[in-house]
Copies of this chain bind each other. A is one copy, B any other.
Amino acid sequence: MVASKVAQRREARIASIVEAAWSLAHEQGIQVFSLRDLATEVGVQQPSLYTYFDSKNALYDAMFADGNQQLLETLDSVDLPDDAEAALKVCLRVVADFAVEDPERYSLLFSRVIPGFEPSAESYAVAQEVLGHVVVAADAAGVTNQGDIDCLVAVTAGLIDSQMSNEPGGDRWLQHLDRMIDLLVDDATNRSVR
């Protein structure tokens, strides 16, 4: 069952709109770019966007899925070292770099800056897939307990968030990422063997 010509065209159009939306988000901010500006960028009138998205939040949902897909591909493209803990470090470092690289994307994916926006089940599934990568890496490094994984994720997120909020572009907080991972992994493995 091939995608019909119409469906293909529609899909491509949606992708181009999402791309233009990212561009505007970078220029003006993810929360404040207007659908009129987006329509202009795409060469169309504002109400025409509603042919593709039921609401601005539906557009955000597509961007959310797209952003997580980007992260997924980034994670897949990196080749991990054999040592499991080193691999975990690389994995989380990739996430941190991905976040720092694009603050607006970070806002949409990891902060709750859009009032009323909740990712759809489909988009959320992509985000879960990303989390799955981290869980696999943590598991391989001996961090199998759910609570320990939660801490690992939360600590990484905390460092990323502090970094971006207080010193965007610097490394005052993220320089400690590897050490924090060491601490957590050691603690987790120690407690699991006792």
Contact = CB atoms under 8 A, between A and B. Distances in A.
Interface of A: 29, 31-32, 107, 111-113, 115-116, 147, 150-151, 153-159, 161-162, 165, 172-173, 175-176, 179-180, 183-184, 187
This protein's copies in its complex:
2
Contact of A158 (B112, B155, B172, B187): B155
A161 to B, nearest CB: 6
A154 to B, nearest CB: 4
A66 to B, nearest CB: 20
A154 B150 contact: no
Contact of A113 (B112, B147, B187): B112
A150 B165 contact: no
B176 A187 contact: no
A161 B172 CA distance: 20
A79 to B, nearest CB: 28
A112 B165 contact: yes
24 contacts: A29-B115, A31-B115, A107-B112, A111-B111, A111-B113, A113-B113, A147-B172, A150-B162, A150-B172, A150-B173, A150-B176, A151-B159, A151-B173, A151-B176, A151-B180, A154-B155, A154-B158, A155-B159, A155-B180, A156-B158, A157-B158, A157-B161, A158-B158, A183-B184
